[in-house]
Amino acid sequence: MAAPGENMRVNADRLWDSLMEMAKIGPGVAGGNNRQTLTDADAEGRTLFKRWCEAAGMTLAVDKMGTMFATRPGTDPDALPVYIGSHLDTQPTGGKYDGVLGVLSGLEVIRSMNDLGIRTKHPVVVTNWTNEEGARFAPAMLASGVFAGAIDLDYAYSRKDPDGKTFGDELKRIGWVGEEEVGARKMHAYFEYHIEQGPILEAENRQIGVVTHCQGLWWLEFTLTGREAHTGSTPMNMRVNAGLAMARIVEMVQTVAMENQPGCVGGVGQMFFSPNSRNVLPGKVVFTVDIRSPDQAKLDGMRATIEARAAEICAALGVGCSVEAVGHFDPVTFDPDLVASVRKAAEDLGYRHMNIISGAGHDACWAAKVAPATMIMCPCVGGLSHNEAEDISKEWASGGADVLLRAVVETAGI
């Protein structure tokens, strides 16, 4: 087999058509998608992906977390596979590309290798990880976390959605509990291609982000206990107002993040008031703080400060406060050799590129615990993601997939 030549690119139209086809499953309310994990729409998306993989000559295996592994054999029976992974699940008001681009670009890499007659020494496995988003069941990147040994399978199965349904029951209900033990596989290398989900590449006019690191994260679930009481007749000095405590903590999280600039973010995206009635002071409030930084000391420092200040805020209002960490991973440094292979692929293709740190979490963060791993990014319009208006161009999509194809072929060997 000759060395990868100029013509080694993916089929941009086919990749785009597949993205548009998948986006028809679990449509959102504003042009994006609601294909949350372990819903009927997720099952439908999985079935379509399985069909496409089998049509491309791959063999599908599924593990006990429902993660899908589609394998294209290599020429060396002893060689460990090169993995390409991401996720087909979406946020409740998700875009068409977050995660999906990475999985379908993996499929497109296989289809393109088939077209170009490329046989690799190492097998190549395209992976759809279950519950990357963590929107329905916290934490995010649940299946890759179990795969990496950081999260127990039983704990994962016991996670509940806001309606009280468990992950384990829902996985069974949609018929995607596999036979394979989770984490049984060894990886030669792991690649993940994703939209940036931030504004940097577009602003810098680059087609490719060479991802060197990913910032670490804590998700802190606060449960505040006040006293349900009439909002009209209860004097201001007799209220034990869990909602007020929450409001002060939300403001405080913003302050702590600002005190830790540059390089830290923090915010609250989810809150539940109970009983959630206009004229009842909430007796119970549950909300989740999401804090992130590429700097371990700053990340852990922010967590300690937020917990200490929250305790003071609640004490002053007589509100009970408990905190549970429902999601965590440390900042990640990706494998230097794989990072170099992505950079070289972008250079060989003549694509404008730059190093970038991922602001979002990805399954690559857990894969990096058990294998050499890295990521590739493409821009997205206005940096917008976790929004149905998330948008990319066909050229951006295929540019990153071209880089993925080259880096995978180089790593898998021909």
Rg (CA), the chain: 22
Helices (H), 183-241: 200-203
Q: Which amino acid is present at 328?
A: H
Specify the residue, 360 or 404, whose C-beta has the smaller distance to ligand GLV: 360
Among 133, 170, 388, 410, binds ligand GLV (CB under 6 A): 133
Residue 85 binds which one of ligand GLV, Mn ion, none, with CB within 5 to 8 A depending on kind?
Answer: none
Q: Is the peptide bond before 262 cis (omega within 30 degrees of 0)?
A: yes
Cα gap 192→53, rounded to integer Å:
18
CB of 34 to ligand GLV, least distance (A): 15
- How far CA 156 is from CA of 151, 173, 247, 297, 368, in Å, comes to 7, 16, 30, 28, 20
> Which one of 10, 19, 140, 376 is in contact with ligand GLV (CB under 6 A)?
140
User: Which pair of tokens denotes residue 157?
Assistant: 């199965």
Residue 303 CB, shortest distance to ligand GLV, in Å, is 16
CA–CA gap between residue 241 and residue 236 (Å, rounded): 10
- Under the binding rule (CB under 5 A), the answer on residue 361 touching Mn ion is yes
Please name the helix (run of DSSP H) or strand (run of DSSP E) that holds residue 178, with its range, or none. none
Work out how close the CB of 367 gets to Mn ion at its nearest, in angstroms, rounded to a whole number: 13
Phi-psi region of 382 (alpha: psi -120 to 50; beta: other; left: phi over 0): left
Please answer whether residues 32 and 94 qualify as being in contact, where contact means their C-beta atoms are separated by less than 8 angstroms.
yes
Pick one of ligand GLV, Mn ion, none as the site partner of residue 327 (Cβ within 5 to 8 A by kind). none
**Number of residues lying near Mn ion (CB under 5 A):** 4
Judged by beta carbon, residue 123 or residue 400, the one nearer ligand GLV is: 400
> Which CB atom, from 321 or from 360, has the smaller least distance to ligand GLV?
360
Contact pattern for Mn ion over residues 90 through 119, marking x by CB under 5 A: --------xx--------------------
> What is the Cα–Cα distance from 176 to 165, expressed in whole angstroms?
16
- Please report whether residue 332 would count as binding ligand GLV according to CB under 6 A: no
Q: Applying CB under 5 A, does 89 fall inside the site for Mn ion?
A: no
Minimum CB separation of residue 321 from ligand GLV in Å reads: 24
3-class SS at 37?
Answer: coil
Which helix (H) or strand (E) is 198 found in, with range?
A: none
The continuous run of DSSP H or E covering 338 comes out as helix 336-348
**Among 25-33, 324-332, 347-355, 359-367, the segment contacting Mn ion (CB under 5 A):** 359-367
CB of 18 or CB of 225, closer to Mn ion:
18
- Cβ proximity to Mn ion: between 8 and 142 the closer is 142
413: closest CA among 74, 25, 9? 74
Span near ligand GLV by CB under 6 A; candidates 68-76, 126-134, 221-229, 272-280: 126-134
The smaller minimum CB distance to ligand GLV, of residues 131 and 260, is found at 131
Do 46 and 68 touch, CB atoms closer than 8 A? Answer: yes
Residue with tokens 């060997």: 413
Q: How many amino acids of this chain bind ligand GLV (CB under 6 A)?
A: 6
- Which residues, numbered 343-402, are part of the site for ligand GLV (CB under 6 A)? 360-361
- Determine the interface stretch with ligand GLV among 120-128, 130-138, 221-229, 276-284 (rule: CB under 6 A): 130-138
Instruction: Report residue 26 as tokens.
Output: 């679990």
Residues 274 and 414: their CA atoms lie apart, in Å, by 60
Tokens of 8: 């080694």
Stretch touching ligand GLV by CB under 6 A, among 19-27, 128-136, 239-247, 271-279: 128-136
360 binds Mn ion (CB under 5 A): yes
Q: Which of 74, 35, 211, 189 is nearest to 127 (CA)?
A: 189
Assess 85 for contact with ligand GLV (CB under 6 A): no
Based on CB atoms, which residue is closest to Mn ion, 98 or 108? Answer: 98
Note the maximum CA span of the chain. 82
- Chain residues binding Mn ion by CB under 5 A are 98-99, 360-361
- Chain residues binding ligand GLV by CB under 6 A are 132-134, 140, 360-361
